[in-house]
Structure 1
């Protein structure tokens, strides 16, 4: 049965409305979609283009060349040398074990390094290169290159590595570099992104560490195109970074190498300083070590040999070591008394060989005593009782104030690791640190550089330079940076009575040039180079009353670690001081026998700027000195090799 026309028309109208409604919804949706597409493609185009670019292009850091270090004459102390390494890409190699087996016939592969490389391959993407041999020789590089077709995935590469051509002569000064560790990163608030580059090296100790910021330089960049899995497809561009700053130190390579050779066989330290401007000409600690071992990664056996050595070759004794200064401190006590006006240079003290203080007997080194002593005689012959009496008269406050004025108890500002402050004791210090009151016996001990007093060889050199010049000389170790001279402030006067300083210098002159002086055996013969000095011997053990009654055991009969430290300080020439020298020989015995001859030889080497003539020595020493000079020349680096590393 057919529907009426009216019903048919109504149905068509309903369908038309529904179609229009549906079409309107579809049209609205399409419009919204079009607007959204316009928003994304037009208004947000820059952002999405950047995101796409970031996915396609990576920026990689390029490590800069590290700044080099030179001595005052341009001799290279730390330089960058080409370093050859062998890398392997796992996916290109195929059978990695088989390729490495072939490679091992051409290059000596260290087992530990190889194990680390294999572990790194398991962690890394298969298309990333992994180093399997580092610091290989040019001959090994050549063999690998020639056999490249048989070594798929293996690539010889060249980079830069730190080298210390003078090995141990500057190890405690220049220091060394090593790979960045987690501990290194933990000490830095905002680490430079460079530090996260694999195998990137930074300074660990010495100048390398203290001047790290300038020596490191700034990174360069390269833009590379990568695919979806991160494989590099091509390099788009690169911008090289800025090389680190070159440093020129005040040290003199020839003198430094001589001093290191002269200290051979001792556990000792020496400082040579210019009295006029504070330039440090030599800073030595013995024994030493080869810093190149740390650059390539020191072996367990080599490191154990260094740490087990009782002479402590890793310690920079010249600036880190602190010792009782012994009789080298007596100039401070004497000068404090003169400045205070309590004693004059003519006043005398009777020395019977000891002094009773608070029911305790303090002995002089000369058991029978020195008799009547004035200032010059007391310093010349190093009478202890004279300084006991002087110290009790003026008190510890005046002594500690003078010690600080002359550079003791001060951490001097030079770019080395662990520069020691030493200890210049005061009443307040003992109350705060020891929880005890200061007693007269403490003052007596301090007067001769014993008790609580501690000083480094650097501080003793500063003290000597200030006594020689009357100026507040401060040590200086960096001469220039990138060819720009470091400023040298004009030293201020110490503000001490010049007549009192002359009295001290005159007494120090007598120590080395008067027949009764404790260092007469280590004098310099030529008048124009005569030195003024002071011996010191500091105890490291207590001598009991019973031992004194039976006779004090001689140093040579004691175990090495219980023997006295030997010290000597001096300046020269006496009339126009140029250099100050401080020498400490650990457990060396007497200052006059162990330290003074070394200091005299160093002084002559510095003044003559090379081997001095035999006539500069006392006649009885000349045969021995001639043999010594020949022996030391054999220990020092070849001049031709040194000149080859000089910056032009």
Structure 2
């Protein structure tokens, strides 16, 4: 009897335990499963389509090309025969794809911690995939999704301005999480500078799902949005630059000086933007990097050149600022200026003539500026040069703009740990020595003299249809405003008075131009050489860079054109004809009012 009670108690305990186990493992599981089915919410993020880049007339400069990407189910490395079978099926449809590369991509990106399909083909054209879409989509191990890829309709046109996009890497994703969704990010030019705008805003699809990830209900759908941007560039004028610029390498800028909007600009030579979207080949990359003309460098803002004589307008203002030299003060222009045992030569063998700033600009007389700089000193010169845009960023909307160098005693001490000499001041006065500037800085400087106020060069016109406003800034003192007319007269004389360094090539232009030429030495000339070496006798890459910058119409300044010809030897001879052609084109296109166009006899 006693044992029966014991066995009964034991049996009762087991029954209770088994009942509890049954409840926890089956009944409660069904209960919690029902809750999961009711409450699980899943959010899928939808990649936006990248915004278009348009010219001022709405013509597309960067668009999106529709196509498909192909991915393979993860973790097939456990059964290589299945993986090989799927890859061979893809190759049978698209025989130009490489099976070895596809397999390598799969193995490299197949993670044991991810359930996402592994992308093996980034992009195939829409029309090419569409006939085979159903066959591909019926295979459980293959996933085909629509994608878009960046496309540049004009290839190498304005490549340094538009820029390009590339595949996002881990660093990009860390700083910009949206790039993980879009897979691409801006790498250069406008594509990079305005990347956060162009990449758009992600969409969301919120759904209620079961524990097995089956969709029960769509809770919310937010459509992704893209934002187009419009540039100030004129596509027709941009195309003309390549016809006008008949030299191997250099830079050219066409700008509306009223507000700084850039109508056209080019850094030459250029390159095809489309080759960077899917990945440039190593051989093409090596060819570009090893070219002595540096096609990959944006010479508008990322290359530094001695400004040469195009700095002389700002230098004249520095002289006036000192109070020692006025607009009507005459200084000697002769073959050389002697300082100690060194002779600083004029650019050509003049006789001896006393000149004001107007004649000195007309003839680009070096010794006038040597003497002026010797009297004024670098302490006065450097701040004025910076005020007129040298040695400071212009603020243009391109990435990584260079600052350039306006040398002075503090700079030389900090950079070279050397003292400043009077000879450094003399070299600086004609834009040589350590003085370096970008073509964009020269264009901005020219615009200040054209308009009498400062502007910010820019390419953006509107964002998402909203116009962007750019207002000039008054930086000139009353003293400088009074002196401005003398600088303008000097620039007028360069292009329109016999003897001016640009007279021969600029005076026949359809409009009246005010300009300044410049020749920037690449190699120094020995003191032992009695005369300057002829540029034509030099090796090409040792010849001086050629500058010409100017504005028109002279009667009512509006447009600035700045031209730099690498190793062009002569500003008037190489850069001048290009500048004249561009101003003529502006007249032909109706940018310049007919009343300012010269009447032909």
User: Would you say how many aligned residue pairs link Structure 1 and Structure 2?
Assistant: 588
Q: Which of residues 349, 356, 364 is equivalent to 2:346?
A: 364
Question: Do the aligned residues in 1 keep the contact of 2:133 with 2:144 (CA within 8 Å)?
Answer: yes
Q: Equivalent residues in 2 for 1:509-548 (5 A)?
A: 509-525=492-508, 529-546=511-528, 548=529
Change (3 A) 1:226 1:88: farther
Root mean square deviation, CA, Å: 3.9
- Of residues 264, 267, 270 in structure 2, which corresponds to 1:282? 264
Indicate which of 540, 543, 568 corresponds to 1:563: 543
Deviation at 1:450, TM superposition (A): 0.6
- Residue matched to 2:151: 163
**Which among 432, 446, 452 is matched to residue 470 of structure 1?**
452
Which whole-Å CA distance do the structure 2 matches of 1:387 and 1:269 have between them?
Answer: 27
Structural mapping, 1:397-412, within 5 Å: 397-412=379-394
**What corresponds to 1:318 in structure 2?**
300
Please say if residues 258 and 472 of structure 2, whose CA atoms lie closer than 8 Å, have aligned partners that are also in contact. Answer: no
Taking structure 1 as reference, are residues 452 and 426 closer, same or farther at Cα in structure 2, changes over 3 Å only?
A: same
How far does residue 121 in structure 1 lie from its aligned partner after superposition?
Answer: 7.1
Of 13, 33, 48, 1:64 maps to 48
Which residue matches 1:628? none
Q: Distance in 2 between matches of 1:140 and 1:493?
A: 59
Give the equivalent residue in structure 1 for 2:399. Answer: 417
Check 1:253–1:116 CA distance in 2 against 1; reply closer, same or farther (3 A cut). farther
- The one of 572, 579, 596 equivalent to 2:576 is 596
Query: Residues 125 and 182 of structure 1: is their aligned pair in 2 closer, same or farther, counting only changes over 3 Å?
Result: closer
578-587 vs 143-152, which moves further: 143-152
Displacement of 1:126 in angstroms is: 11
Aligned to 2:556: 576
Q: In 1, Cα distance between the equivalents of 2:33 and 2:390?
A: 64
User: Relative to structure 1, is the Cα distance of residues 22 and 508 closer, same or farther in structure 2, using a 3 angstrom cutoff?
Assistant: same
Say which of 164, 173, 191 aligns to 1:176.
Answer: 164
2:334 is matched with 352
Is the alpha carbon distance of 1:375 and 1:128 closer, same or farther for their aligned partners in structure 2, counting shifts above 3 Å? Answer: closer
Q: Which moved more, 1:98-107 or 1:599-608?
A: 98-107
User: Does the 8 A contact of 2:549 with 2:562 survive in 1?
Assistant: yes
Deviation of 1:508 (Å): 0.5
* Separation (CA, whole Å) in 1 of partners of 2:209 and 2:112: 16
Distance across 2 between alignment mates of 1:126 and 1:506: 72
Larger-Rg structure = 1
Give the secondary-structure state (helix, strand or coil) at the position aligned to 1:428: helix
Q: Is the 8 A contact 2:37 2:209 kept in 1?
A: no
Q: What residue in structure 2 maps to residue 507 of structure 1?
A: 490
Query: Deviation string for 1:134-193 (max 9, x for gaps)?
Result: 43234532442476599775555422111111221121112111111124345x2xx42x
Q: How far does residue 52 in structure 1 lie from its aligned partner after superposition? A: 9.6
> Do the aligned residues in 1 keep the contact of 2:253 with 2:562 (CA within 8 Å)?
yes
Contact 1:68-1:80 within 8 A present in 2 as well: yes
- In structure 2, what is the Cα distance between the partners aligned to 1:470 and 1:252? 25
Q: Which moved more, 1:518-527 or 1:456-465?
A: 518-527
Contact 2:203 2:225 in 1 (8 A): no
Whether the 8 Å contact between 2:188 and 2:399 is mirrored in structure 1 is yes
Asked if residue 212 in structure 1 is aligned to residue 195 in structure 2, the reply is yes
Closer/same/farther in 2, CA of residues 163 and 512 from structure 1, 3 Å limit? same
**Structure 1 stretch 138-147 or stretch 203-212: which is displaced more?**
138-147
Q: Where in structure 2 are the equivalents of 1:604-619 lying within 5 Å?
A: 604-609=584-589
1:74 aligns with 2:58: yes
Tell me if structure 2 keeps the 8 A contact 1:222–1:235.
no
TM-score w.r.t. length of structure 1:
0.81
Task: State yes or no: 1:374 paired with 2:361.
Answer: no
Q: 1:500 to 1:108 in 2, by over 3 A?
A: farther
Deviation at 1:376, TM superposition (A): 1.7
The 3 A distance-change label for structure 1 pair 116 and 211 is farther
8 Å CA contact 1:512, 1:519 repeated in 2: yes
Distance in 1 separating the partners of 2:599 and 2:369: 31
Q: Which residue in 2 is equivalent to 1:640?
A: none
Cα distance in 1 for partners of 2:141, 2:16 equals 59
Q: Residues 62 and 363 (structure 1 numbering): CA distance in 2 closer, same or farther, change over 3 Å?
A: same
Tell whether the 8 Å contact from 1:272 to 1:579 is kept in structure 2 after alignment: yes
- Unaligned residue ranges in structure 2 (runs of 5+): none
CA spacing shift, 1:233–1:506, aligned 2, 3 Å? same
Contact 1:67 1:246 in 2 (8 A): yes
1:545 aligns to what SS in structure 2? Answer: coil
SS in 2 for 1:260: helix
What 5-or-longer segments of structure 1 have no aligned partner? 1-10, 620-648
**Residues 602, 356 of structure 1: CA spacing in aligned structure 2 closer, same or farther, 3 A cutoff?**
same
- CA change 1:122–1:429 in 2 (3 A) is closer
In structure 1, what is the Cα distance between the partners aligned to 2:258 and 2:109?
A: 59
In structure 2, the partner of 1:97 is: 84
